[in-house]
Amino acid sequence: GQSLEQPSEVTAVEGAIVQINCTYQTSGFYGLSWYQQHDGGAPTFLSYNALDGLEETGRFSSFLSRSDSYGYLLLQELQMKDSASYFCAVRSSGNTPLVFGKGTRLSVIA
Amino acid sequence: DVKVTQSSRYLVKRTGEKVFLECVQDMDHENMFWYRQDPGLGLRLIYFSYDVKMKEKGDIPEGYSVSREKKERFSLILESASTNQTSMYLCASRQQAGELFFGEGSRLTVL
């Protein structure tokens, strides 16, 4: 089976940096994805890591360590619009469905 | 612009009713998925399909069935709705191993 652990809630100040961690247990591993979901909206894709290291896309970065079964999403220069839920997700092989974590609700405060 | 459209944003049904949730994607994606989302439980996979007329059970298929008669359309069916099926239902599609594209969701309340 597969399971993922991520914090349920995180609060951070506007302009700051926040890191959302994700640990996973899988029978096979094909990559770690991150999705963002605003209240009332659809989840949208943020990033994907198949190999160890850091992937950067603007203010967002995602990191993976396969040996530690661990990854994180880093959000820099936080803005109020970043308040949302963030989900990590894994799959065991290329075409298998994604299994999602329970999500981390990020609140950005002034 | 890519799009996954779910036919109903909000539905209210009574216990025992048959419920159809429709999902259409315009991206010619092969893979389609139905998840349900509940507070504190994240997204849980109900059923998925890799091709027309193909279907696979996800993690929580009990009480649900699906239909995929055309590539662009994937329907979720609740044969006899129950109150514990009150939830947000999310449809998604993708091309092979690519990223998932989600619909806006269908919030179902079963009374």
Per-residue pLDDT, A27: 85
Per-residue pLDDT, A21: 98
Question: In this structure, what token pair is assigned to residue A53?
Answer: 């290291």
Count Cβ–Cβ pairs < 8 Å, chain A vs chain B. Answer: 48
Distance between B15 CA and the closest CA of chain A, angstroms:
25
Q: Do B100 and A35 touch (CB under 8 A)?
A: yes
Partners of B59 in the β-ladder: none
Residue stretches of chain A with pLDDT short of 50: none
End-to-end CA distance of chain B: 37
**Residue appearing with tokens 């799009």:** B3
CB-based contacts of B9, cutoff 8 Å, min separation 6: B104, B105, B106, B107
Per-residue pLDDT, A95: 81
Per-residue pLDDT, B103: 96
Per-residue pLDDT, B15: 98
pLDDT of B34 over the 80 cut? yes
Q: Do B50 and A97 touch (CB under 8 A)?
A: no
The helix/strand/coil state of A25 is: strand
Q: Which of residues 22-51 of B touch A (CB under 8 A)?
A: 31, 33, 35, 40-45, 48, 50
Per-residue pLDDT, B95: 87
Quick one: B30 exposed, middle or buried, by C-beta within 10 A (0-12, 13-18, 19+)? middle
Percent of all residues in chain B with a pLDDT value above 90, rounded to a whole number: 91
Distance between A90 CA and the closest CA of chain B, angstroms:
12
Write out chain B residues lying below 8 Å of A98, CB-based.
Answer: 45, 100
pLDDT of B2 over the 80 cut? no
The helix/strand/coil state of A81 is: helix
Residue of chain A minimizing CA distance to B38:
A102
pLDDT of B16 over the 80 cut? yes
Q: Do B41 and A45 touch (CB under 8 A)?
A: no
Please tell me which residue, A2 or B36, carries the higher pLDDT value: B36
Per-residue pLDDT, B97: 74
pLDDT by residue (tens digit) across B71-92? 999 999 999 999 999 999 999 9
